[in-house]
A and B are shown apart, each in its own frame.
Chain A
Amino acid sequence: MKRFDNQINAGSMADIAFLLLIFFLVTTTIDVDKGITVKLPPWDDEQILQPVPPRNVFSVKVNSNNELLVRKEPIPISRLKEHTIEFILNPNQRGDMPNSPKKAVVSLQNDRETNYETYIEVYNELKAAYNQIWEEEALKRYGKTYENLKREEKKSIRKDIPLIISEADPTDFALK
């Protein structure tokens, strides 16, 4: 008498799983989604320009040759961070820098021919400056690193030292 073997042959199961695995390996990518997060200002057709006293403005201009002009002074990009920190905190109470970090405004202007890489580097340095200041403030106020603060604590620091980067319309020297 013929007996039926009721077991399903599981040997091919591995092959099926392998095929699925290879399919996923091919169709997917492991790229981490990281970047500099920015909040753009809302668009206004008639742009209202609030006059800001010059002592509170940290102007950063980048030209088409990717050179920096910070407060009318050419500096290399590697020194941008320390300049920014000095400006915001104004440790020597200089008259041409803001008397409180709350009032500091970073004004960033680039040319249409500026390299995107340079722009990101500049933005990165400005953000790094603020991150460092927040970090120091967090240690001073709460004795913790900024990352470990509670939401309200972070908020209060950010309220006292707000990150304001205003981006002016880019210059366009190529056409003129």
Chain B
Amino acid sequence: MAKFSRGKGRGTPKISTASLPDIIFILLFFFMVVTVMKDSELKVEVNYPYATELQKLEKKSLVSYIYIGVPAQRFRKKYGSAPRIQLNDSFKEVKDLKLFLEQEKSKLREAERGLMTASIRADKDVTMGIVTDVKTELRKIGQLKVNYSSKPRTDDL
């Protein structure tokens, strides 16, 4: 007579780890959605200024970043400590802005090209000289939508 053997499988049952990958995947997707890929390594030091009247930049793909700041410590020997402009991954001059924006624009669809925003990410301690040069160049190129990156400020002036 067939008899089901009991008793053998007793003891503490193993916890099923089959759902663990799912949990981790959910975490992964969460991070993929919430975060942004580091588009370039920062070679200049940028501490954003503080402001209250902030607007959020909606579409990441429509934004081109212009970093302005003092070269990071490891580049000081070569590039000095005067504020410089960084586009993509390298130090650039004001005149390189045109080509850079042209390239950024060519990545977009035709309908979206007019919506491109230039995000000026300048250090709060740079002087207006270099920022003005960038602004003037942007005006000459015709990139008029500009955003000054800043962090939210909560206390009064």
Chain A residues engaging chain B, CB cutoff 8 angstroms: 10-11, 13-14, 16-18, 20-21, 24-25, 27-43, 77-78, 110-117, 119-121, 123-125, 127-128, 131, 170, 172
Contact = CB atoms under 8 A, between A and B. Distances in A.
B119 A39 contact: no
B14 to A, nearest CB: 11
Contacts of A30: 34-36
Nearest to B59: A33
B72 interface: no
25 contacts: A14-B20, A14-B21, A21-B31, A24-B35, A33-B60, A33-B119, A34-B56, A34-B57, A34-B152, A35-B54, A35-B55, A35-B57, A35-B149, A39-B144, A39-B145, A39-B146, A40-B144, A40-B146, A43-B139, A43-B142, A111-B128, A117-B50, A124-B53, A128-B52, A172-B129
Given A14-B17, A28-B38, A43-B140, A116 B49 contact: yes
A51 B35 CA distance: 49
Q: Which of B35, B53, B57, B132 neighbours the largest number of chain A CB atoms within 10 Å of its CB?
A: B53
B91 interface: no
B38 A10 contact: no
A115 B125 contact: yes
A65 B141 CA distance: 31
Contacts, number: 159
Contacts of A43: 136, 139-140, 142
A21 B24 contact: yes
Given A39-B145, A78-B157, A121 B49 contact: yes
Residues of B contacting A: mostly = mixed
* Pairs of residues from A and B, 10 with the lowest C-beta to C-beta distance, nearest first: A28-B35, A17-B24, A112-B129, A117-B124, A13-B21, A43-B139, A33-B57, A124-B51, A35-B149, A35-B147
Contacts of B81: none
Nearest to A64: B127
Contacts of A33: 36, 56-57, 60, 63, 119, 149
Contacts of A170: 128-129, 132
A123 B52 CA distance: 10
B97 interface: no
Given A27-B37, A123-B148, 12 more contacts: A14-B17, A14-B24, A17-B24, A33-B36, A35-B54, A35-B55, A35-B57, A42-B139, A112-B132, A114-B128, A116-B128, A121-B50
A4 B39 CA distance: 48
B131 interface: yes
Nearest to A123: B148
Nearest to A129: B53
A123 to B, nearest CB: 7
B126 interface: yes
B142 A20 contact: no
Interface in B37-86: 37-38, 49-57, 60, 63
